[in-house]
Structure 1
Amino acid sequence: MLEKDEFSDCCFNMVDLGCALGPNSLSVVAHVMDTIQNLRKNGNNRQEFRFFLNDLPYNEFNGLFELVESEKELVCGPRSQCYIHGLPGSFYTRLFPRKSLHFAYSSTSLQWLSQVPQGLVRQNKENIFITMTSPPEVLDAYAEQYKSDWFTFLILRAEEMAPGGRMVLTFINRSGDDFSAKEEYVHYDVLAQTLLDMVTQGLLEKDDLYSFNVPIYMPCQLEVESIINQQGSFKIDKIFSFPVRWDIDEDADGFDENR
């Protein structure tokens, strides 16, 4: 993209969709800007960049931008013309003017749905997500909501992306084409059992538990490919699944561009 003439002189607009908060949010900006600087060592060093940090309006943007202020040179590099902005709003709505976005990135956010699927009240009862005991209607409702949201996301980004723009998206998926493997949702079983214990102890109303479902869906790779191809606005360049380690270095403190 950076080698193309149409991108060489414009202000290059980028976004992290579902940026959350804290050092990990800025590590994305740092990695992208470091890559750009390495590509541009012998090229155009005067180009300007805008990096938008997007999340829902109640994200803690104040703390995030205090971190931006203190770490901006480390994040953007000492010589780059990089401007970082906050962009509150759902990525299931329009966020940018038409054909103004050059690069979109999202990490572990697109498994979240825009809403709890319709018609789940009392169908899923003591479950809070899809499990082996959920009736087929529950799985169908989640799958339809995901398809609707994924279509919406692709349509909106297609309107916003400049010709030749790119997206890099990572999100939690399931390994198979169904939910028969218990390890796919075991942590939600644990949470549901905890809530049931709270009902038994009188700390939570049973009706509240029966009406609660987590608005998340983990697609398989085939679903993702099928919807992208069916919607038609984007062409898949690369798509693959990979395992992620969930262990966290609890001693890590502050921003580290290598994290």
Structure 2
Amino acid sequence: MLHVNGGEGEMSYANNSLLSRKVLSSTWLIAKEAISKFCHQSNFPTTTFTMAELGCSCGPNALLIASNLVERVEEIRKRLQKNALEYQILLNDLHGNDFNAIFRSLPSFLEELKTKIGAHDSDFGPCFFNGVPGSFYFRLFPTNSVHFFHSTYTLHWLSRVPEGIENKNKGKIFISSTSPKSVVEAYYKQFQMDFSMFLKCRAEELVIDGHMILTMLGRTSEEPWSKECTSFWEFLSLALNTMVAEGLVEEEKVDLFNIPNYMPSWKEVEAEVLEEGRFGISHLQVSKIDWDFSDDAETKYDFAKCVRSVIESLLISHFGEAIIDELFRRYKKIIVEKRSEERLQITNLTISLIKIK
């Protein structure tokens, strides 16, 4: 089962999630606009505001959006002179996620939040936290119970490897320009099934006029094998194949391994939303970020460690733990070489949805 690396070690997601934090910061204005729009409508919650973070993972980003949203709602509530609200914060991820790390951080999180919004016990309602393990491709919450959904860097993960591609994508672990047409079609079909089910489930759980902000890896090209969305898996495939050539990894194991991941175009995302029919699109943004971004001008961001912190559990379950250190040593070397030849960027799709019926 896919899950990010827990704990606080060198290869943990907690210590390698700066990329996600950058993306969260860059899309905050969209989330802020959505929450402001919702709170100024006539159905402003009277007692409880419920928000859910889908694919919360662990580490410093897990509660970042919750903190920002609560702060924004409190600003609006005070301006509108509404009664104090209770906050229900629902944290969802797959069962293997390190929820304990999140729960241990809650006392300090609440103290920091109260300081941030200048709240006192008398004018700031309680915050109730719930861990919700399970796949968001199924129902997770009661009907018409959530006001705001948020998800960053999760929806490009499929519920499973597409059926029927076993041993057809030889030497590759993802869609590539040399993949058979049947492989490309199977990936797209799986995305359609998964994303449509995701929208169907959230439409049941969201209140009317409730909002949803989704950010995922995507592409601007019409071609699913475009370099803008396949490079980091292509480079990992190259690293694996150098190990096959040296007899360190079995060729058959590589042939049978495929990443359950699909990075859609904005048109493909839009088509599924329109097909579902219960959401209106209030904003759709395409943005890019360099692989080697950093807050420190002297240091390049270690993109290989970021990928490892996310995908290591899946690789270990298929190849075993013994090859992992060597695999990512080679992967990092390939990235450094490719980065010297071309500018490597990630394309992000952010969509703001409102439930209209």
TM over 0.5: yes
From 44, 56, 61, the equivalent of 1:19 is 56
Aligned to 2:89: 51
1:191-212 per-residue CA deviation (whole Å, 9 max, x = no partner) reads: 0011112223333222211110
Aligned to 1:206: 251
1:186 paired with 2:231, answer yes
Q: Which runs of 5+ in 1 are unaligned?
A: 252-259
Aligned to 1:256: none
Aligned to 2:100: 62
1:48-71 per-residue CA deviation (whole Å, 9 max, x = no partner) reads: 111111111110011111112222
Displacement of 1:30 in angstroms is 1.2
1:126-158 per-residue CA deviation (whole Å, 9 max, x = no partner) reads: 010011111111110000000000110011111
Displacement of 1:176 in angstroms is 1.1
| Residues in 1 aligned to 2:155 and 2:260: alpha-carbon distance in whole angstroms | 11
Displacement of 1:16 in angstroms is 0.5
1:149 paired with 2:228, answer no
Do the aligned partners of 1:22 and 1:67 also contact (CA within 8 Å) in 2? no
Task: Give percent identity, aligned residues only.
Answer: 37
Structure 1 182/164 Cα, relative in aligned 2: closer, same or farther at 3 Å? closer
| Residues in 2 aligned to 1:120 and 1:96: alpha-carbon distance in whole angstroms | 33
- Equivalent residue of 1:73, what SS? helix
1:52-106 per-residue CA deviation (whole Å, 9 max, x = no partner) reads: 1111111001111111222222236444322222111110111001111111010
| Residues in 2 aligned to 1:125 and 1:241: alpha-carbon distance in whole angstroms | 32
Structure 1 64/152 Cα, relative in aligned 2: closer, same or farther at 3 Å? same
- Equivalent residue of 2:131, what SS? strand
RMSD, matched Cα: 1.8
- Equivalent residue of 2:84, what SS? coil
| Residues in 1 aligned to 2:228 and 2:43: alpha-carbon distance in whole angstroms | 47
Do the aligned partners of 1:114 and 1:149 also contact (CA within 8 Å) in 2? yes
Do the aligned partners of 1:61 and 1:86 also contact (CA within 8 Å) in 2? yes
Do the aligned partners of 1:9 and 1:47 also contact (CA within 8 Å) in 2? yes
- Equivalent residue of 1:217, what SS? coil
1:31 paired with 2:68, answer yes
Aligned to 2:164: 119
With 137-146 and 36-45 compared, the bigger mean Cα shift is at 36-45
1:224 paired with 2:269, answer yes
1:212-256 per-residue CA deviation (whole Å, 9 max, x = no partner) reads: 0000000000001111101212111111211134424489xxxxx
TM-score, with normalisation over the residues of structure 1? 0.91
1:158 paired with 2:203, answer yes
Do the aligned partners of 2:46 and 2:83 also contact (CA within 8 Å) in 1? no
Aligned to 1:241: 286
With 134-143 and 190-199 compared, the bigger mean Cα shift is at 190-199
| Residues in 2 aligned to 1:25 and 1:63: alpha-carbon distance in whole angstroms | 10
Structure 1 239/38 Cα, relative in aligned 2: closer, same or farther at 3 Å? same
1:87 paired with 2:137, answer no
Displacement of 1:180 in angstroms is 5.0
Q: Which has the higher helix share?
A: 2
- Equivalent residue of 1:171, what SS? strand
From 194, 219, 222, the equivalent of 1:174 is 219
Do the aligned partners of 1:30 and 1:74 also contact (CA within 8 Å) in 2? no
Do the aligned partners of 2:175 and 2:183 also contact (CA within 8 Å) in 1? yes
- Equivalent residue of 2:51, what SS? strand
With 4-13 and 157-166 compared, the bigger mean Cα shift is at 4-13
Which residue identity lines up with residue 140 of structure 2 in the other structure?
L
Aligned to 1:254: none
- Equivalent residue of 2:280, what SS? coil
| Residues in 1 aligned to 2:161 and 2:225: alpha-carbon distance in whole angstroms | 21
Aligned length: 251
Structure 1 9/133 Cα, relative in aligned 2: closer, same or farther at 3 Å? same
TM-score, with normalisation over the residues of structure 2? 0.67
